[in-house]
Amino acid sequence: MNLSTYQKYALKLGIIFAVIFLALAINPIDRHDWMIENLLVLIIIPVLIFSSKKLPLSKISYTLIFLFLCLHEVGSHYTYANVPYDQWFESLFGRSFNSFFGWERNHFDRLVHFSYGLFLAYPIREMFHRVANVSGFWGYFLPLDVTMSSSMLFELFEWAAVEVFAGDLGVAYLGTQGDIWDAHKDMGLASIGAVIAMLVTAIINSRLQRDFAKEMSDSFKIKNKEPLGEAEIKRMINKKNNE
């Protein structure tokens, strides 16, 4: 089987991730929480594998996905609310990371939600650009929109999981740590991460792409002057009756 350069790169990252995954699967803090946290991972990985032949992503996209999944595995091993980043930082620098900012809450989950937007908005943009042929303004807005909406869906998924897995398991998975605005802040951070990713992408493209301004302008031009809604339904009915 001949593999493309991108497939080979993805395979290398996949092997590294498999090692990290297996290492962090050993004696997690809460096995049941670990299993729930990794349900989506067990869906995402096969999708990436089976789509790599027809739609191999760029090395940048694969790297960003890899980084996000690695952060997620750390969170799932310790449970997000108990990742000991503060102790790690203090052992290296003699002072806890939270003390610099006056934080009392464990903020590792905030980092991962921010990374969700920062790391995954670009791969989403690449798929929009290559599959839906989206360009101009919409090539930046739609990835941002999908990142924000999928972040919201994940919060709803968490809520549903807590309803199903009540008690300590539900609390461990939800990881609000007593913050009633936890879901809002998580979605907000994912959105900020995605905005930064799209702004950086737009700035780079504006420097390197000669027709950047024209593409942005063209993306606002009306492509179909005919209204849809009831008018389109009428046109489809007439077309079907005339066939």
Is it the case that residue 105 has pLDDT exceeding 90?
no
Is 240 domain-assigned? Answer: no
Whether 230 maps to a domain, the answer reads no
pTM here is 0.88
Whole-angstrom distance between the N-terminal and C-terminal Cα of the chain?
A: 47
How far apart CA 111 and CA 118 sit, in angstroms, is 10
Taking 80 as the threshold, does the pLDDT of residue 165 lie above it? no
Question: Is 98 within 8 Å of 177 (Cβ atoms)?
Answer: no
CA-CA distances (angstroms) from residue 86 to 91, 104, 178, 201, 209?
Answer: 9, 10, 19, 32, 43
What does the pLDDT look like over 110-159, one tens digit per residue? 999 999 999 999 999 999 999 999 999 999 999 999 999 999 988 887 77
Query: Is 238 a member of any domain?
Result: no
Amino acid at 83: V
In whole angstroms, give the CA distance from residue 212 to residue 206: 6
Specify if 69 maps to a domain: yes
- Which three-class secondary structure state does DSSP give residue 32? helix
The whole-chain average pLDDT of the chain stands at 89
Tell whether 131 is covered by a domain.
yes
DSSP 3-state percent helix, strand, coil across the chain (nearest 5): 75, 0, 25
Domain count, the chain: 1
In a domain, 231, yes or no: no
Residue-number span of the structural domain to which 38 is assigned? 5-222
In this predicted structure, the answer to whether residue 176 has a pLDDT above a threshold of 60 is: no
Structure tokens at 9: 């790169």
Residue 234 lies in a domain: no
168, part of any domain: yes
pLDDT over threshold 60, residue 167: no
pLDDT at residue 178, rounded to an integer? 63
